[in-house]
Amino acid sequence: MTGTSPTRNLTTSAFLAMSLDGFIARPDGGLDWLLEAGADLEDTGYDDFFVAVDSMLIGRNTYDIVAAFDEYPYAGKRVLVLSSSLETVEWSDATVHRSLNSALETLAAEGRRHVYVDGGTVVQQFLRAGMLDNLTVSIAPVLIGFGIPLFGPLDSDVKLELTGTRELPAGFTQATYRARPPG
């Protein structure tokens, strides 16, 4: 990690999909455009990535979307939800945290090694703090015009090193980056 916090031994990674115009969801959280575009997508590398992480750090919006799923997708993972309004969550092995620092302290205290950072706001917080190590973005061949952006305002440039690209089925492309230390 690029910081000097007690979480220095923690690897942070994001694995996301976005529209070609940079949105991860419609304003209401809708993913219909992604599900339609990705109907024939096949293997994106997500399953291998998910096996490699021991914990998840998600935001409130992601929690609300996932809570509505028919099947819980995070079985076997420690989940921390960043929220200023939730008191508790009903998922097993999941807790609510009011701040990024609180969540990171919990992950460090528990000896977690690799956290999956998910949700636009949470990814943006990690980028602003210089704490996102790896970023994999799958780009859907669709423009949705407006929605929830993957990237938001930053205090300074975040330099990334391209570590891989690949063409996926259904017209998707995927790029993987490693964050470069500032300086």
Q: At 140, which helix (H) or strand (E)?
A: strand 134-140
The arrangement of strands across the sheet holding 114-118 comes to 94-97, 78-82, 55-59, 114-118, 11-19, 134-140, 173-179, 160-167
CA angle 56, 60, 98 (to 5 degrees): 80
How does pLDDT run along the chain (183 residues), one tens digit per residue? 444 344 568 999 999 999 999 999 999 888 999 999 988 888 899 999 999 999 999 999 899 888 888 899 999 999 999 999 999 898 988 999 999 999 999 999 999 999 999 998 899 899 888 899 999 999 999 999 999 999 888 888 889 999 999 999 999 999 999 988 766
- Whole-angstrom distance, CA of residue 140 vs CA of residue 150: 13
- Whole-angstrom distance, CA of residue 9 vs CA of residue 165: 27
CA atoms within 13 A on the CB side of 81: 23
Name beta bridge partners: 134: 13, 178
Here the tokens at position 21 are 């115009």
pLDDT of residue 156: 86
Which domains, from first to last, does the chain contain?
A: 11-179 (3.40.430.10)
Beta carbons of 31 and 164 less than 8 angstroms apart: no
Global pTM reads 0.89
- Whole-angstrom distance, CA of residue 135 vs CA of residue 149: 15
